[in-house]
Amino acid sequence: MNRSAFAARLLRWFERHKRDLPWRREPRDPYRVWLSEVMLQQTQVATVIPYFERWLRRFPTLEALAAAPLDDVLKLWEGLGYYARARNLHAAAQIVLRDYGGQLPRTVEGLMALPGIGRYTAGAIASLAFGARAPALDGNARRVLSRVFGLSRPTAAELWALAESLLPRGRAGAFNEALMELGATICAPRAPQCAACPLRAMCQARADGAPEAYPARPTRQKTPHHEVLTVVLVDGAGRALLGQRPRDGLLGGLWEFISAELRAPNPDAQGRPGCADLADLILRRSGLKVRPSRAQPLGAVKHAFTHFKMTRQVWLVRLPKPVRAPLRPQGYARLVWATPEEIEQLALTRSDRRIWAMYRARPPSLFD
């Protein structure tokens, strides 16, 4: 295959058909390139655009991001998912300001030394912001290369070497972006638009008549499922108890209503968790001794993560008086009694935001 023809056709197509996206404004600002690449990981463009624009209004510069409290960063990221991205972005901004004079490193190696920046993100930033001759392979680019070159089960090393060999001199950034754009808009995982593809004449997968067979999909494993018990514990002052998850780990730094995985439930006659489960959960996670004899079910909230699914059984437990007893967080960074107004300002997990909406929408009861 003529590899210079590959790049030339791809770049001509890109110039005519590239989407007008807010992070593609020239001249490229390294901070905005970095932010967009982090937000676009595992997330579609249509979802990212409003987050990107809101983020820049709040944190227009790397310096503004580095100076912000992490709680503010997580609140602005709320709903975008994969929260480690936000924590790493914040930590890396502080490192760049402290150790690099506020200037992002210009090399792939230098960028990869920062939290949350792997080989793909480093290649994208280096090529798009600094013109470095570095490949950048996301899932879209991998799919295009696998199909054009007829690679059913390519290794990561093979694809990186192939991508680097295709880079045109002086236009690595545009080439990387064009390759990803083609995969995102034309060479889709299913029902690719081969007739509109600028590389159709040289595509081995199309010649074989089975473009969707490339690359071969791995065997899907059964997705684990976790049952979680959650209590919306409200005191006599109308405040709800929330715990902040440890900053290292899943959903780190976000707030949730008191929860724990339901391992050995003591169900009632209807198969629901009993008062003993609720009392044990509250005691273990907060140190409070509560007799939830008037517990009210709020419903179930289902949520899917990358590697597992979760169902949260949610109960409302009301306390007759404001709580002044000291709290002992077990497994939380801290606990807080929050008013409804304060809860709106906290960075909640997506499922906890739904739980809060369920609580606000519930019909009034005798205990309100």
Q: Where are the alpha helices (DSSP H) in the chain?
A: 3-17, 30-39, 45-58, 62-67, 70-77, 84-99, 108-112, 119-130, 139-148, 156-166, 172-185, 204-207, 275-286, 340-345, 350-361
> Residue 59 carries which side chain, given as an amino acid letter?
F
Q: Distance between terminal CA atoms of the chain?
A: 73
Q: Which of 37, 177, 181, 256 is catalytic?
A: 37
**DSSP conformation class of 266:** -
State the virtual CA torsion across 249, 253, 256, 258 in degrees, nearest 10: 70
Q: How many CB atoms lie within 10 A of CB 128?
A: 25
Contacts of 178 (CB under 8 A, 6+ apart): 10, 11, 13, 14, 18
158 flagged as catalytic:
no
Closest CA to 19 of 149, 144, 180: 180
> Residue 22 carries which side chain, given as an amino acid letter?
P
Residue 317 bridge partners (DSSP): 233
Residue 46 bridge partners (DSSP): none
Radius of gyration over every alpha carbon of the chain, rounded to an integer in angstroms: 25
| Residue 147: both structure tokens together | 């199909």
Closest CA to 167 of 115, 131, 120, 200: 131
Do you find a cis peptide bond into 218, omega within 30 degrees of 0?
A: no
Catalytically active residues are 37
